[in-house]
Amino acid sequence: MKFFVDTADIVDIADLAETGLLDGVTTNPSLIAKSGRKFLDVIAEICAFVSGPVSAEVTALDTATMLKEARVLRRIASNVAIKVPLTWDGLKACKALTDDGAMVNVTLCFTANQALLAAKAGATFISPFIGRLDDIGQDGMQLIRDIRRIYDNYPHLKTEILSASIRNADHVTQAALAGSDVATVPPSVLRDLVKHPLTDKGLDAFLADWKKTGQSVL
Ligand code: E4P
């Protein structure tokens, strides 16, 4: 499963990129607002650090203006993926953009039918929001399983499932078990994935024993 990081914080992105784990980045208007920085500058900086897809979201509601915004965003770098909402206008923009060779991430997906429409419109990525479904008492992960099954029934659909709105490490495990192609993960959750108390305990014990030997490699 590919890892994207879900943030517009360039410091976090630079740090995580050093691990070699980052396959891409997703942003959204809320994350850009949180950064307090200019949208186009942030996307350009991210693209300089990360060679994989960097999702930049349009904010227009009609297809024609979405396409105008997409033209500006695509000029920033060749790895910009245009993020469009799962609306009729968003689907039309998706079709026009993918026909023109752009990567498109269709966002705010909450049903399997929406995911089917996005795939038929040629989406590069579909972003089902797990956490937001959990928030309203539904099983977000079941949506990932359903979409996986539907896409696998129709192998000509090439859209990648990008599990989004991930809130914890178990979401990452479950998304991988469900066969999600990508998970976009907040930096804090990505850092949590490395942690286990037995790793820390084991390391402490090894270092204590090593100290007893009185040796040094350097
Ligand atoms: C994905 O592209 C979205 O930016 C993100 O995963 C939304 O997550 P949230 O529901 O935690 O805001």
Q: Judging by beta carbons within 10 Å of its beta carbon (0-12, 13-18, 19+), is residue 201 exposed, middle or buried?
A: exposed
User: Does residue 83 carry a catalytic annotation?
Assistant: yes
The answer to the question of residue 70 being in a domain is yes
pLDDT band for position 43 (cuts 50, 70, 90): very high
Q: Indicate the pairing of strand 125-128 with strand 160-163.
A: parallel
**In whole angstroms, how far apart are CA 190 and each of 38, 42, 85?**
25, 21, 25
* pTM, two decimal places: 0.96
Is the CB–ligand 1 distance for residue 164 below 6 Å? Answer: yes
Residue whose CA is at the smallest distance from ligand 1 atom 7: 165
Spell out where the chain has E strands. Answer: 2-6, 24-26, 54-57, 80-85, 103-109, 125-128, 160-163, 182-185
Is the CB–ligand 1 distance for residue 163 below 6 Å? Answer: no
Chain centre to alpha carbon of residue 1? 11
The answer to the question of residue 218 being in a domain is no
Helix axes of 88-99 and 112-120: crossing angle, nearest 10 degrees: 30
Is the CB–ligand 1 distance for residue 168 below 6 Å? Answer: no
The answer to the question of residue 25 being in a domain is yes
* Torsion over CA: 210, 216, 217, 218 (sign): positive
- The rounded distance, in Å, linking the Cα atoms of 134 and 167 is 10
pLDDT per residue over 168-184, tens digit each? 999 999 999 999 999 99
Is the CB–ligand 1 distance for residue 184 below 6 Å? Answer: yes
pLDDT, position 203: 98
Longest dimension (CA), the chain: 71
pLDDT, position 124: 98
CATH of the domain at 63: 3.20.20.70
Total structural domains within the chain: 1
Distance 164 CA to ligand 1 centre (A): 5
Distance 185 CA to ligand 1 centre (A): 8
Residues 114 and 129 sit within 8 Å (Cβ to Cβ)? no
Phi, psi for residue 139 in degrees, rounded to 5: -100, 95
The answer to the question of residue 80 being in a domain is yes
Q: Which residues span the domain enclosing 88? A: 2-213
Residue whose CA is at the smallest distance from ligand 1 atom 6: 165
The answer to the question of residue 147 being in a domain is yes
- Which of 2, 38, 68, 83 is the catalytic position? 83
The answer to the question of residue 207 being in a domain is yes
Closest atom of ligand 1 to 131 CA is 10
The answer to the question of residue 58 being in a domain is yes
Of residues 109, 127, 114, the one with CA closest to residue 181: 127
Coil, strand or helix: which one is 68?
helix
pLDDT per residue over 96-150, tens digit each? 999 999 999 999 999 999 999 999 999 999 999 999 999 999 999 999 999 999 9
pLDDT per residue over 8-29, tens digit each? 999 999 999 999 999 999 999 9
The answer to the question of residue 119 being in a domain is yes
pLDDT, position 57: 98
Of residues 167, 191, 162, the one with CA closest to residue 178: 162
